[in-house]
Structure 1
Amino acid sequence: MKKIHYIFSFMILCAIFIVIVLPMIPFFRMSPFAFLLIAFRSTIFLVLAFIFLLIQIIFAIFAHKTRIHADKKGILSTVIIMSLLLGGTWYYSAGNQVYDLHQVPAKKSGQIRILSWNTNHAIEKDELLSVVKELKPDIVFFPEEWQGQNTKVFDCDLDVPEDQKPTHCYLDSLIDSYEYFKEESPLQTLLVPKKYGLYSVESGEPYYAGFFATPPANHSESPYILLAHIQRPEFGIGTSWWQKHMEWAKEKSIYENMIAAGDFNATLGNIGGHQLGELEDMAYALNQNQAGTWPTFLPAFLGAPIDHIFIGKAYKPIWFGVLNTSKKSDHRAIFGIVEKVNR
């Protein structure tokens, strides 16, 4: 019985080694399996702790019935392994702070308010509009939301000739913003206020990756914007799409007055740091342990923070939070507030 106990303990130690060490190996790091290990290490440690505890209870019951006394080495190894598992759960966990909509700071002059929400096209238009009106964001990123023709979230009139591919329309009666979309990026929609001017949506990005929007030349205070929906790594496909999409996003993220946001399908651990090109992750800049944004059925501290807002050096982060939004979507929304740096 003791031999079986030692073998089982050794297997748990091997599992701990795999979860911690394998993602550090360069050639393994870019595999879909490594992505899952990095994103959900806390959950894996917690599951291993539960299994280990359950087996220890079974061993204890059996030992009591057979009057086999545990030796000091067995007790010590059990304590050490359980400490490693619980410590790993705590160390690798995401943040647990999730905010209700009314907890988001009120709108102030001179600030830019940013909302990003991968709704998984599961949220009704009226609910989306209600969230937007309550939070009063300036820029809204919908990495995976479309309703109707031309991927528009909200119905609006297209103000381009019929022989051209539409890229925007004006939401006059709703929130005084332009709505941007692309035929080559059929899942993504971007809302930008009219006061920022009419943006041009660039061509040439990888399919489904999102799109890059450039402000008009006569609006120097308006930010460059990148809406991201980076393809997730998948078994059978690998990470080649994800790497290609991330390379595109990093190449575009070179401007000081730039904001990039959306679903990156990666934690900062997957990305390998807190930078996207020349931009910095907002949660990291505010010294926050970002709560998990996906999936919503897991508690926030066990989820994976794969949705991000990155900002250029021209902006100072004021507030960032993961929001308690509808569980109809498998992603929680994120919200950020920045202001221009005085130079």
Structure 2
Amino acid sequence: MTSRVAGCVVAGVLSAVVALAAVWPRALGLADRYGPAQVVAMRGVVVLAGLVLLAALLATARWWRRSRPYVLTLAAVTGVATACSAVILLVRGPADDPLDAAARGDLTVLTFNTLHDGVAPDAIAALIDEHAADVVVLPETSRATTREAARIAGGFQVFHHTVDSITSATGLLVADRLGRYEPLVPHPGGALGSFTVRPRAADGVPITAVHAYPPASGAMQLWRTDTAWAVRACRQARGGIVAGDLNATVDHPALADAEPCVDAAAARDAAATGTWPADLPRWLGAPIDHVLVDARTWRVEAFHVLDARGGSDHRPVVAVLQRRP
């Protein structure tokens, strides 16, 4: 009997550590490590997998009586972990502002990873016109597509930076009404075309267009560097705006504490709304496309995750900002 109790305790402790690594890896210092970093980005999938595993464990406990104490211990840990992840999703907000809310602001930011020009210039321009976007960030978009979308939409300054391929090509459109901007400054060491543009006017809006490296095997340090740089770009630019595909969520270290900047989705209780991959339901996807703003200057009036379009595997996102008095 004593050995069975000890076995249950060991099983419970080990499964609890694994569950914590999946649900809240920051507690173990693993949120930026390969494995936990990918798992925690897909909280919806974690909840779904947890429910399936829980059902399997309960069925096993019913038919496998000899191992029932161990299985029920694992089931209890799985149930608690799944419930915790579900609560986190609900608290962060699995939905965004309804588009018919017609929120008004001083500045509208649109970001859309078009997946190697998977979205035609006229479709991008229509999106810009539909939401009256003033700042448009287009990761994985060629110079030609960026320029043509700007020409069709009209009234934009065009910036573009390519490192070595269309995957590392990022476009930026800035409305003429925001004033003139200096030539872009590339992210030093950035592999996927991130850059900053600074206004010539002292009261202008510094803008950073981001495409961070994904947290792939063998590239975790590149990912850490890119995401940390994006948040730092927002912190160091008074009134700044950072937007794009950050390949990170608010569970990851760089975005977990971005003060004095805020994530527009989190500010509008939409930080659990998945933007990638677009063929999964929103509650299952990873919210990796962001608009970060200096909260000392801007208030987020609305945030929208739009429907997928064209051939992109990302959903476009729109943030409506109001300048603070």
What band does the TM-score fall into relative to the shorter chain? Answer: 0.7 to 0.9
SS in 1 for 2:49: helix
Structure 1: how far apart are the matches of 2:276 and 2:286?
A: 5
Structure 2: how far apart are the matches of 1:277 and 1:18?
A: 25
Deviations along 1:130-156, one digit per CA (max 9) or x if unpaired, are 21121111111112222xxx4542338
Equivalent residue, structure 1, for 2:157: 178
Q: 1:155 aligns with which of 148, 159, 164?
A: 148
Structure 2: how far apart are the matches of 1:204 and 1:272?
A: 16
Q: 1:54 aligns with which of 48, 53, 56?
A: 56
Change over 3 Å in CA distance of 1:82–1:212 after alignment to 2: closer
Structure 1: how far apart are the matches of 2:316 and 2:84?
A: 27
Change over 3 Å in CA distance of 1:288–1:183 after alignment to 2: closer
Q: 1:330 aligns with which of 300, 313, 317?
A: 313
Q: Do residues 316 (structure 1) and 268 (structure 2) align?
A: no
Structure 1: how far apart are the matches of 2:310 and 2:58?
A: 36
Task: State the superposition RMSD in angstroms.
Answer: 3.4
* One-letter code aligned to 2:229: W
> Deviation at 1:229?
0.5
Instruction: Give TM-score scaled by structure 2 length.
Output: 0.80
Equivalent residue, structure 1, for 2:27: 24
When Rg is computed on C-alpha atoms for both structures, the one with the higher figure is: 1
8 Å CA contact retained: 2:181, 2:197 = yes
Q: Do residues 211 (structure 1) and 211 (structure 2) align?
A: no
> Deviation at 1:256?
2.2
Within 5 Å, give how 1:216-227 maps onto structure 2: 216-217=200-201, 220-227=202-209
> Deviation at 1:104?
5.2
Change over 3 Å in CA distance of 1:29–1:98 after alignment to 2: closer
* One-letter code aligned to 2:322: E
> Deviation at 1:55?
4.7
Structure 2: how far apart are the matches of 1:259 and 1:135?
A: 18
Structure 2: how far apart are the matches of 1:212 and 1:154?
A: 18
* One-letter code aligned to 1:192: V
Structure 2: how far apart are the matches of 1:335 and 1:287?
A: 14
SS in 1 for 2:46: helix
Equivalent residue, structure 1, for 2:281: 299
Within 5 Å, give how 1:5-154 maps onto structure 2: 15-20=18-23, 22-26=25-29, 28-57=30-59, 60=62, 62=63, 77=73, 80-81=76-77, 83-93=79-89, 95-97=93-95, 103=99, 105-106=101-102, 108=104, 111-121=106-116, 122-146=118-142, 150=143, 152-154=145-147
Deviations along 1:154-203, one digit per CA (max 9) or x if unpaired, are 338xxxxxxxxxxxxxx455321112112448411111111222312124
Structure holding more helix per residue: 2
Structure 2: how far apart are the matches of 1:182 and 1:144?
A: 10
SS in 2 for 1:325: coil
8 Å CA contact retained: 1:296, 1:327 = no
* One-letter code aligned to 2:51: A
SS in 1 for 2:45: helix
The percentage of counterpart residues that share the same residue type is: 20
Instruction: Give TM-score scaled by structure 1 length.
Output: 0.76
* One-letter code aligned to 2:112: W
8 Å CA contact retained: 1:143, 1:189 = yes
- Report the count of equivalent residues: 309
> Structure 2: which 5+ residue stretches go unaligned?
none
Change over 3 Å in CA distance of 1:42–1:88 after alignment to 2: farther
Deviations along 1:5-42, one digit per CA (max 9) or x if unpaired, are x79x868656424424655333x443221211221244
SS in 1 for 2:146: coil
> Structure 1: which 5+ residue stretches go unaligned?
157-170
> Deviation at 1:250?
3.5
> Deviation at 1:291?
0.8
8 Å CA contact retained: 1:178, 1:193 = yes
